[in-house]
Structure formats: structure tokens, C-alpha cells
Amino acid sequence: MCLLFLRMIALACIILALTQPESRIERSDYNVEGIDIILAQDISGSMMSEDFKPNRIEAAKQVAMDFIDGRANDRIGLVVFSAESFLQCPLTIDHGQAKESFK
């Protein structure tokens, strides 16, 4: 019984491999000229100073959002730092995702 079951599974796998299944997800290629930009954001405690309204970090976020909105064909990424730095958002053409990484 077990041997018959294993043979049927093997046969099903062979048949599936021979049919060469393909993904139905369509891929669109496009060529645009743009540049790669990595923004650096300071997230240390000094950015909470309220010499800008509401504070420095919120003011910097707003400037970055406006900057991203003006860069239609560029790939944008984000590095944040305080005592250490790390990649918050890799280079992407998805500006919505880049802006979301500032939150």
C-alpha cells in the first residue's frame, strides 16, 4: 500500500514537471532615467528639540516627504542613525513605501 502511494506521488511529480507550470504574474519592464538617492535621517534624542514646530525630527520628515514627491523617476532609500546606523528602506522606485518608512 505504502509503495503504491509513493509511486503515485512520484508519477504525479513527474507529470507536473513535464507540464512546465509558469507563473501568471505579468512583469512589466520600463526604462526611465533617474538617479539613486539615499536619505540619512538622524533619530537621536537631540532631534526632539522643539526649536522647529512641532520638533526637529517631524520637520525633517516633512522636508523629506516633499523631496520624495519631487523625485518621480529616482530610486529612494533611507538610512537612519543615532548611536548606530541601519538601512530602514533599500533603494526603491515605490515612493509610497519610501515615505512609509519615515513613520
Tell me the three cell numbers of residue 56.
526637529
pLDDT tens across the length of the chain (103 residues): 788 888 888 988 888 888 877 777 777 777 778 899 999 999 888 888 888 778 888 889 999 999 999 998 899 999 999 889 999 999 999 999 999 988 7
Residue 20 backbone class (left: φ over 0; alpha: ψ -120 to 50; beta: rest): left
Give me the pLDDT at residue 86, please. Answer: 92
Q: How far apart, in whole angstroms, are the C-alpha atoms of residue 98 and residue 59?
A: 17
Instruction: Name the nearest CA neighbour of 77 among 29, 85, 12.
Output: 85
pLDDT at residue 41 in the model: 92
d(CA 65, CA 2): 62
Q: Is the peptide bond before 90 cis (omega within 30 degrees of 0)?
A: no
Q: Which residues pair with 10 in a beta bridge?
A: none
